[in-house]
Amino acid sequence: MMGMNQVDRSILLPACTAAWNLSNGKRFGSKYLPARRVPRRVYQSSDGYFAVEPPLGWQRRRHDNSNEVTFSKGKISVSLATMESKPGDTVEAFIEFKKYLVRHLCPAGKMWEEGRTMVAGALGAFFTFYCPSSRTCIHVAASLNCGKFFVFKIGAPNEESPAAEAEIGRLAQSFKPGEASLEEFEPLQRAS
């Protein structure tokens, strides 16, 4: 016995397939309902090592003498960069050094959370630190990918963080190795 859902699918699937074939695989719409395209804005780092889709309405600032870029909205800032790695470098050691620096800047601060996460398509590590004097959360995440550290940092007043969480999440998801890092790394992958 077929339910209504199965009947709907058995009718709609062939109809949609026929429409797709008739349109030669192109999106179509009527003059009343045109196909809607969402423009993608992709920021490519100055050296081509990473790409990211910045949130609409956020300000961008490039940093001198590095490929680091910071996107900000109000008092919230998100910085992304790649850094050279050396043989034997680990994400864990990199994150421990960043923790040391943050603790040095805010000795009264507390480590809120730490663990594993994906950064620029590779498994990495992160920590979230709270500095009570400035009431700021600092989040640092990094991975080792294509022979480079991919670094994602957030600085935000504790009360403003939840409002931008979705935008920051989309920014983090869009953080990917750029063409230059893939071209540089590909020969190493083929050799192994």
pLDDT tens by residue, 79-90: 999 999 999 999
Q: Is the pTM of this model over 0.85?
A: no
Distance of alpha carbon 126 from alpha carbon 84, whole angstroms: 18
Distance of alpha carbon 74 from alpha carbon 157, whole angstroms: 10
Domain spans in the chain, listed from the N-terminal domain onward: 1-37, 43-191
Distance of alpha carbon 140 from alpha carbon 84, whole angstroms: 17
Distance of alpha carbon 125 from alpha carbon 122, whole angstroms: 10
Half-sphere exposure of 137 (CA within 13 A, CB side): 18
pLDDT above 90: residue 191: no
**Tokens (6 digits) for 173:** 């998801």
pLDDT above 90: residue 6: no
Q: pLDDT exceeding 70 applies to what percent of the chain? A: 72
Regarding the domain with residue range 43-191, which homologous superfamily does it belong to in the CATH classification? Answer: Mog1/PsbP, alpha/beta/alpha sandwich (3.40.1000.10)
pLDDT above 70: residue 136: yes
